[in-house]
Homo-oligomer: A and B are copies of this chain.
Amino acid sequence: MADGDTTGQEARRSRGGRQQRRDARVGVEAGIHRPYIVRGIPTYDILSEESLQAIEATADRILAEIGIELREDHEAMRLYKAAGAEVTSETEDVWRIRFAPGMLREILKTAPAEFTQHARNPANNVRIGGKNVVFAPSYGSPFVMDLDKGRRYGTIEDFRNFIKLAQSSPWLHHSGGTVCEPTDVPVNKRHLDMVYSHIRYSDRAFLGSITAAERAADSVEMARIVFGEGFADQNCVVMGNFNTTSPLVIDGVTAAGIRTYAEANQGSIHLPFLLGGAVAPLTIAGMVAQGFAESMASCALTQLVRPGSPAILASFFSSMSLKTGSPTFGMPEPAIGSLAMGQLARRINLPLRCAGNFSTSKLPDGQAMWQSMMSMMSAIQGGANYVLHSAGFLDGLLSMSYEKVVMDTDICGALHAYLDGMAVNEDTLAFEALNELGPGQHLFSTQHTLRHYETAYWDSALDDNQPWETWDEQGGIDYAQRANTRWKKILREYEAPALDQGIDEALQDFMARRKASMADMWY
């Protein structure tokens, strides 16, 4: 009966985690955290076997009959062809690649179901796949916003600030990648400052650049400087987050970038960003089938380059407002799609990236948080292993919000407790606690209450759960304003984790040389 719903190992983990959480609470996000979550609750499987097979069959049919359009990358074309795909030239450097049913599944058998991405602080290594859940901040917003200064283009200072905020939260596990676009740095040099900032201001695992093959190579090279060339060749120390060009296209920059990471044995995420009615069918079943097909085709390239290199199946589903045609985020239909994607990923035995704290709201208000919660629940219930966009996402991903970062990280804390599930054993069933004083008597003073008082519940650092009168006396401050105060406090108190001076100098030297080797580009 002990630990009915968790294995012994997970239960120990979980108890350890509870203790760490308590420590973190005392230290108010002092950086003591679980390196990642091992889920203690099952996934939420909403589709029947019949429906799953129908989606898989449609994905297979898409791949076999329509195929994927590959652009520009001759080497990728050669690899797909050598693996047995049917390749038809559309122009000199555009090919249609068709895959016989089941072919991609066969190729993907060499991809690991679970792998470790190493962090420069080994205590922060993350395990991706299986029952593991890793939270990373949001990715790719050109704008940033806060309550004081409103919305403006992101800068490298914002970029560093978001890394610092993420690093300061015990409820995130990964430093992410393009936490905002540092638009004040030239486009062709930005990746160097971004990767360096992740290494310098965080000691967690991170994502490298994917916007050009040479930027991908620079990212891998900087990771090698940190981890050593030999170690980096045998272990995942950096990952790239790649988008297909939906519907059904893989462009040359993406294919070359994927090959760069895979050749180096580094991880890659393969993400169709699907807006229903625009680049995917409006109906969710079709959107999921397409996303699954695209992501499998993209993932497979890694195994053709270097079998065994880590690849993450991924999907990003969004709907649209039928009134205006605008994209919508955090809606119920994509949430249902994400749950289905979880089932498909497990059937093909690949780690999954899916959903996150999505919202279309332009402020860190009630809309932002209900949409986020609906979307995020689908990630954690659906079994997503790597949840990019766990913190900061507003404005349909166009803006990274300082307030929402601290709101979302707090909620990520709540999700740690949620994913722990319910321990069912003699102690937690607490018969003796009820029996001690009997009917009608409050349990404040029972041994059971005293024993569990400090650890029973997750405690928010940002919610106001006081009585109305107390809250009112203290000024009646709303959630967004509390978040505003909080991110400033965290940045004031932030201390960078130590970085080996030799590594720091080597990184700076590498960046200087790379920057000197090319003229600034601004688009």
Chain A residues engaging chain B, CB cutoff 8 angstroms: 1, 4-5, 25, 41-42, 44-48, 50-51, 54-55, 58, 61-62, 65-69, 96, 143, 151, 245, 247-249, 276-286, 288-290, 319-324, 326-328, 331-333, 335-337, 340, 360-374, 377, 381, 395-396, 398-399, 407, 411, 414-415, 417-418, 421-425, 427-431, 433-435, 438-444, 446, 448-449, 452-454, 456-460, 462-468, 471-472, 476, 478-480, 483
Contacts and interface: CB of A to CB of B under 8 A. Distances in A.
A68 B96 CA distance: 72
A290 B434 contact: yes
B443 A279 contact: yes
Contact of A456 (B333, B372, B440, B454): B333
Nearest to A3: B51
B54 A285 contact: no
B50 A286 contact: no
Contacts of A366: 364-366, 368-369, 407, 479-480, 483
Contacts of A483: 366
Nearest to A429: B58
Which 8 residue pairs are nearest across A and B when measured between Cβ atoms? A286-B430, A4-B51, A281-B430, A373-B373, A69-B439, A248-B439, A332-B418, A366-B369
Contacts of A417: 331-333
Given A44-B44, A66-B438, A277-B449, 4 more contacts: A69-B438, A248-B439, A278-B443, A370-B373
Contacts of A61: 431
Nearest to A476: B362
Contacts of A96: 439
24 contacts: A1-B50, A4-B50, A41-B336, A61-B431, A248-B438, A249-B440, A276-B457, A277-B443, A279-B443, A284-B422, A286-B429, A288-B422, A321-B457, A322-B459, A332-B414, A361-B464, A362-B468, A364-B366, A365-B365, A365-B479, A368-B479, A373-B373, A374-B418, A399-B468
B369 A373 contact: yes
Given A448-B281, A453-B282, A468 B395 contact: yes
Most central of A50, A58, A443 by chain B CB within 10 Å: A443
A425 B456 CA distance: 45
Contacts of A48: 4-5
B367 A370 contact: no
A333 B421 CA distance: 8
Contacts of A395: 468
A360 B277 contact: no
A367 B486 CA distance: 15
A279 B333 contact: no
Nearest to A440: B249
B468 A398 contact: yes
A362 B434 CA distance: 32
Contacts of A62: 431, 434
